[in-house]
């Protein structure tokens, strides 16, 4: 960590990830960044948990392309759990005490976690582009060769490669690896995704121009629409992620300029650390907006949890018989069950004495009162 007065912390190979300048404007900026990260971390965690649960519970959402998006959602969830709170903690400690009091272990943890998750996200969206490319250009190969096991192996490899590449910066030239991570990886991701989606759009236009022939090759019109929907969702996710990590490229280019102003570098660094993880909060919103099935499942999970909470409140605090009759522990006979079934078809019971559910509930309460 390097500060404005030239002091460097080299204990435990502490990385030069934060810049501090003793000024009121700089302090206000860092406090705003800390508060922003804390506020954004809450919806990031909640939304990504909902998306992961929705994609794992519903069978129609467990398709291959969504499995890759689940890996991206896991990375976004960890970003909300670890990176954003850690950035806020570092900035709060640096402004409440002295910059040198920031624990070096916390800086190392934030740096490794932040850059690893960023690398995982960028490599994942690159793999999403490749998966869409194969699905559009080689549908028969995609259906025969691409499996859930293969995707699991690729996703695990992405995590291993990202962690090894980022963690190795603490045993070699840190600045060189920082420059490599930001310029090479992010620039490669940009160029790769631009090239792939230009090719995909050309192929999609070709399919639409010669629809009848292509339908015989690709299967059905429904498959074409599903591929187009998945491609559109993946394209928006990639655009969102790359746009949020664009400040990292700007910062790397800025640092390559000889004798760059340290004060401006501090502002860019704080906000580049914030805007990058902010993509983790936007991605679940993109999933729900561009995929109505994911949106319906997420809404179903939320409403189901609310309904369970309401049922628990009624059973714990009690309620009126007219609105929500209390459940009875007595087992109903077949005759009573038929009465309930027939009454539901005929419009319900007219009297509580005829209703075995309400009658049993009232008897239970009278016994409890006695």
pLDDT of residue 303: 84
- Tens-binned pLDDT, residue by residue, of the chain (370 aa): 443 333 333 444 454 445 555 566 667 777 888 888 899 999 999 999 999 998 888 888 888 888 888 999 999 999 999 988 988 888 887 776 555 556 777 877 887 888 888 888 888 988 888 888 888 888 888 888 888 889 999 999 999 988 887 777 665 655 555 566 666 667 777 788 778 877 877 777 776 666 655 554 444 455 555 666 667 777 788 788 777 777 766 776 666 665 555 545 556 667 777 787 788 888 888 888 888 888 888 888 888 776 666 665 666 555 444 444 444 444 445 555 555 555 544 444 444 444 444 455 445 445 444 4
Q: Output the CA–CA distances (angstroms, integers) from residue 162 to 71, 115, 159, 185, in the order listed.
A: 14, 8, 5, 11
The CATH class, in words, for 24-307 is mainly alpha
CA 169, CA 100: separation in Å to the nearest integer? Answer: 22
- Give tens-digit pLDDT for 40-78: 999 999 999 999 998 888 888 888 888 888 999 999 999
pLDDT of residue 2: 40
pLDDT of residue 77: 93
pLDDT of residue 352: 47
pLDDT of residue 49: 93
Domain assignments of the chain as residue spans, ordered by start: 24-307
CA 239, CA 313: separation in Å to the nearest integer? Answer: 44
- Give tens-digit pLDDT for 275-313: 877 888 888 888 888 888 888 888 888 887 766 666 656
pTM: 0.70
pLDDT of residue 9: 36
Looking at the chain, the whole-number percentage of residues with pLDDT higher than 70 is: 56
């Amino acid at each position: 960590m390097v500060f404005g007065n030239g002091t460097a912390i080299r204990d435990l190979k502490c990385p030069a990830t934060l810049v501090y300048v003793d000024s009121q404007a700089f302090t206000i900026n860092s406090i705003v960044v800390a508060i922003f990260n804390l506020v954004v971390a809450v919806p990031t965690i909640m939304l990504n948990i909902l998306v992961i649960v929705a994609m794992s519970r519903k069978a129609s959402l467990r398709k291959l392309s969504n499995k890759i998006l689940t890996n991206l959602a896991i990375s976004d969830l960890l970003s909300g759990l670890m990176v954003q709170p850690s950035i806020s903690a570092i900035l709060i400690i640096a402004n409440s005490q002295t910059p040198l009091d920031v624990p070096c272990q916390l800086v190392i943890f934030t740096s490794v976690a932040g850059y690893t998750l960023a690398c995982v996200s960028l490599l994942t969206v690159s793999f999403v582009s490749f998966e869409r490319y194969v699905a559009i250009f080689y549908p028969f190969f995609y259906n025969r060769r691409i499996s859930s096991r293969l995707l699991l192996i690729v996703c695990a490899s992405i995590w291993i490669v990202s962690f090894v590449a980022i963690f190795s910066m603490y045993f070699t030239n840190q600045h060189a690896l920082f420059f490599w991570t930001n310029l090479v990886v992010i620039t490669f991701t940009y160029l790769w995704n631009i090239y792939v989606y230009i090719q995909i759009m050309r192929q999609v236009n070709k399919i639409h121009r010669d629809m009848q022939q292509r339908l015989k090759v690709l299967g059905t019109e429904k498959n074409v629409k599903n591929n187009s929907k998945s491609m559109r969702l993946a394209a928006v996710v990639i655009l969102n992620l790359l746009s949020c990590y664009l400040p990292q490229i700007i910062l790397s280019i800025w640092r390559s300029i000889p004798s760059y102003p340290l004060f401006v570098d501090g502002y860019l660094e704080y906000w580049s650390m914030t805007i990058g993880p902010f993509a983790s909060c936007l991605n679940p919103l993109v999933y729900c907006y561009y995929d109505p099935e994911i949106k319906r499942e997420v809404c179903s999970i939320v409403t189901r949890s609310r309904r369970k909470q309401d049922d628990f409140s009624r059973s714990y605090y009690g309620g009126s018989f007219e609105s929500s009759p209390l459940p009875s522990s007595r087992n109903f006979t077949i005759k009573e069950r038929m009465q309930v079934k027939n009454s539901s078809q005929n419009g319900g019971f007219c009297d509580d004495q005829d209703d075995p559910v309400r009658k049993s509930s009232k008897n239970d309460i009278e016994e409890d009162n006695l």
